[in-house]
Structures are given as structure tokens and as C-alpha cells.
Structure 1
């Protein structure tokens, strides 16, 4: 079971990745991480 800190971090990551569909990625590194 995920810890609270891991769950919050994953939640923020999902929100950021979902946002890439509406706005262009700021850095190529973030876009690559989203594709992984």
C-alpha cells in the first residue's frame, strides 16, 4: 500500500501529465518522462 507522501507525489505527477494534453511541455525531459 502506498504511503501518503507517495500517493500525493503520484497524484501531482498524474495531474501534470494530464495537463500536457492541454498545454505544451515546458521541457523535453518532462515530455520524455510522460511517455515512459
Structure 2
């Protein structure tokens, strides 16, 4: 659950992160990482 806490500190809404992780765990986290880096 590290990605969830990381997104919360980054300013992302927890609900959006949870929804994406439930839909596609691996691809979702990768897309979130790209969004954070960009």
C-alpha cells in the first residue's frame, strides 16, 4: 500500500488512486508514476 500513501502526500485524491488501483493494479501504478514525474 506504499503507492497509496505516496499519492496522498503528492496531493492526489485517495479515491481516484483507489479506483485506478482496483481497475488495473500494475498499469495503474505505472501511469500514476508517469503523471507524478511529469
Question: So what's the TM-score if we normalise by structure 2?
Answer: 0.38
Structure with greater proportional helix content: 2
